[in-house]
Amino acid sequence: PPEGGHQLARVRVLTLAKNGEFLCGTVFRRKTKRGGRWCLNLQAKGRRIRKVIPFAQTEQEALMALQEEIRKEFDHEYSIRREKQKLRFQEFADTYLTNYAKLKKRSWRSDEKYLNSQLVPFFGGMELGEISSFGVHEFMVKRQGDGVRNSTINRELTVLKKMLGLAIKWGYRTTANPVEKGNYFSEEEYKRDRVLNYAEERRLLRSAAPHLKPILTCALMTGMRYAEILGLTWDRVDLERRQITVKAEASKSGKKRIVPINETLHAELDKLKKLNKGKSGFVFLYQDPKSGKTRNVKTVRRAFVMACRRAGIMNLRFHDLRHTAGTRLIESGADPISVRDILGHADLKTTEGYLHSSLKRMETAARLLDKPLAEELPDVSPECHQKSSKPEAWKPSLFISMN
């Protein structure tokens, strides 16, 4: 095996070739920053195949992957075409969770919930190839009849679409994916446009508990997500270069990004670092009232609700602070590309939502200019434009100075 790898098993399989050659395969686990990944080596017809086994978690699964690779080589050598095993949706659901969701998604528990509560009970007995567009439509009608929100149905459809896409990729389904963009419901009615104004911001910060105030400041000054803020550690904060590094594994988009630190946040973080004095690697701490020990903040849900209540602020979520930061950036003239990079949006279309929101408020503000003029201007009739022999017909009050 390659350097750094640890050989755990070795398998030899006779190819049945006339010359009596062997296909000699090996699986091993290579150390990585995240723990380790299973890999395989295979000697076949004078060439060497080396690859990572992305979905293997155990030695047995790695050996099964090696067997599959050997079978492919055997089929290729003798031009054998095999029909892929037909699976029912319920069986493939376990494969999806084990070999994809738990490895690739931090939100895999949500996928598991959608599968166990709705998707498997509805599609469980069907073979993967039997699920059609009409079947998907029936599922949507059934869920609407259950009285659930369109956004919930869309989340369930997203899991179904990914599953069937993987089934096609892995050879368990040959027809096109029946879940398309046109299947999804509109979520316009659920979109929020709640932005904290500056007066509310002052009241909220004054009403916040001592451990909550710097967290709110960080959210308003950077637009970082809730989990990104609470999981922030000092090794990702560079006060000298004035930047925060959000690692790929901590970001929703799965991409690393750099977030600038402005003067307001710099002063807050500098104060926290002096108070920390090596107590913890986490940035945001609080003192446990029961034990007196200093611990890292894991949730601020109750503290945030209480601060809003004391400040007299209604209908505000923590995520609205991120929306507030994005909207203020756009209104201040920041270009959408920079805003996208700061907030960590995977798609510029998400950032454009802040631009549209800003334009709506601008249009509302512009309409306010209509009222004073409309109230002060007299009703000028067409007769006023005709030449009059009476000098008193033209009064100075009819003229508007443009200076």
The per-residue pLDDT for range 6-25, each reduced to its tens digit, is 444 444 444 444 445 556 77
- pLDDT at position 169 is 85
What sections of 53-197 are H helices per DSSP?
A: 59-78, 89-96, 102-104, 108-114, 120-123, 133-145, 150-169
Burial class (CB in 10 A: 0-12, 13-18, 19+), 181: exposed
Mean pLDDT by 10 residues, the chain (403 residues): 46 47 73 74 76 76 78 70 72 89 84 94 92 93 92 93 90 87 74 84 94 94 90 92 85 80 93 84 87 88 94 92 87 79 75 65 67 53 50 43 39
- The number of beta carbons lying within 10 Å of the beta carbon of residue 360 is 11
Determine the Cα–Cα distance for residues 163 and 169; give it in Å rounded to an integer.
Answer: 10
Burial class (CB in 10 A: 0-12, 13-18, 19+), 383: exposed
**Whether the model pTM is above 0.75:** no
| Cβ density class 6-22: b for 16+ within 10 Å, e for less | eeeeeeebebeeeeeee
- pLDDT at position 67 is 79
> 360: part of which helix (H) or strand (E)?
helix 348-367
- pLDDT at position 71 is 75
